[in-house]
Amino acid sequence: MTEAPTSSGAPVMSSELKIEDLFHQKRNEDSITKIFSAIYAPVGIIIFLFRCFLGFHTFLVACLLRKSGVFRMHALRTMCSILGIVVEKRGERDESARVLCANHVSILDHLAIDILTPCLLPSVWDIPSIIRWCFGYVDLGATRGRDHLVNGAKKLLAKETEMPILAFPEGIITSGEKALIKFNTWAFEVSPVVQPVSVRVWRPYPWKVAVSVLGATWWTDLFYFFALPFTVISVEYLPKMEKKEEESLDEFTARVAETLASNLKISVSKFGISDASEAAKRLRTDQERARKVVNKEKTSPRLQDARQMDECAMRIKQSFPTFHLSAIRQDLEKTRSQTATVNNLKTGKITVSAADGQVGKVTLDASSWRGVFDNRKWQMIETNRQKYMDRGVEEDDN
């Protein structure tokens, strides 16, 4: 069983990983980065607007040039320099391999590889032809099914003699820090010879903002690329790999995945693209539910007087019988909202037992008398209620 290193250096067995562990959950996980990002935000917005203006014009020039031409590569490098994208190259491209297989860690992975090696990227989206042409995508019939994609890729390789096909077998962007998504086999069915390409993306401290997070939109990822000073994309070409005669398609796919994972010093997970899609869907559902709770708290009427809070405390007590009435009533005094208090009960912010000092001594301070009276009143109600419940249980037993 392979192991995946954690950020603390301790290895984690791939079988112990959860699907959520393969993705960044937050953009800024470090408190210093959060503070610095807030200070840097005005400057970042100005840089973003400047780069959008210049980068757009350079991108249009690159679109008009021949894809495999030298001038286009220089135009793309100029555009990346303007946008603060630094592309590093390691290893050598093997021209005998017609398919490049890379891990997927950002929305600009294909751009970084395309700068080093002009290649063809199959489009998996049903988008207009003009947009497909601008971004260098090729329609191989992916939206019509796997067979159309494989056959389209084989025909393209038979016709195109210069550029290889670039494939991201994971099918989704991950953090690239814990494990790879289980590879799809379509790219390895197209050609028995492939060249693995490992991609790493990093940003300097204190701009250590996650390149992508689970459930993020592409324009959000692109905003951070444009707004931050620079991002380094490291592309490493590994030796080409050939399918053995006695090797099945699944075995060949797994071997390439293991080779890439070994280079990245991570493992290959048991999760597929469908698991990742479900995780993203769950996250969106949780976020939507959280927004509804916040909106409900904002729109729910506030409790105005003691009588309303007393009645509300009794209603909540019926749903949460293990919590002390006095603890519920005291929280209502703070929140003035039934929804907020119920959420505090669910999240453990309110203790089950009575709060400290509920039945305190009467002091000479007149301002504390009302609190002592209320605490003793709710303590008496709680005690008598429990006696009544116990008597009912005894009668049922008899």
Average pLDDT over residues 209-223: 87
Mean pLDDT over residues 164-168, rounded? 91
Residue 353 clears pLDDT 70, i.e. is over it: no
Q: Provide the pLDDT for residue 395.
A: 61
The domain ranges of the chain are 19-288, 306-390
Separation between Cα atoms, residue 201 and residue 107, nearest integer Å:
11
Burial 299-331 (b: 16+ CB within 10 A, else e): eeeebeeeeebbebbeebbeebeebbbbbbbbb
DSSP state of 120: B
| Weakest-pLDDT range from 127-131, 197-201, 209-213, 278-282 | 127-131
Whether the predicted pLDDT of 56 surpasses 70: yes
Which has more confidence, 306 or 196? Answer: 196
Strands of 251-389 (E only): list them.
Answer: 267-268
Q: State pLDDT tens for residues 28-42.
A: 877 888 888 888 889
pLDDT interval class at 196 (50, 70, 90): very high
The more confident residue out of 275 and 251 is 251
Question: What is the pLDDT, as a whole number, of residue 261?
Answer: 94
Domain 306-390 sits in CATH at: 1.10.8.10
**For the ranges 228-232, 243-247, 264-268, 347-351, which has the lowest average pLDDT?**
347-351
How does the average pLDDT of the chain come out, rounded?
Answer: 80
> Residue 352 above 80 pLDDT?
no
pLDDT in tens, 70-108: 777 777 788 888 888 999 999 999 988 999 999 999 988
The residue ranking higher by pLDDT, 184 or 388, is: 184
Does the pLDDT value for residue 357 go beyond 50? no
- For residue 206, whether the previous peptide bond is cis, meaning omega lies within 30 degrees of 0, is yes
As a whole number, mean pLDDT of residues 47-67 equals 78
289-298, 309-318, 356-365 — which is least confidently predicted?
356-365
Of 102, 84, 85, whose CA–CA distance to 93 is shortest?
A: 102
Tokens found for residue 20: 């959520």
pLDDT at 12: 47
100 and 197 in contact (C-beta within 8 Å)? yes
Sorting pLDDT into bands at 50, 70 and 90, what band is 236? very high
- Tens-place pLDDT, residues 237-262: 999 999 998 999 999 999 999 999 99
Q: What is the mean pLDDT of residues 291-297?
A: 64
Euclidean distance between CA atoms 370 and 360, whole angstroms = 12
Does residue 291 contact residue 44 with C-beta atoms inside 8 Å?
Answer: no
User: Both tokens of residue 329?
Assistant: 């009533």
Of 69 and 53, the structure prediction assigns the larger pLDDT to 53
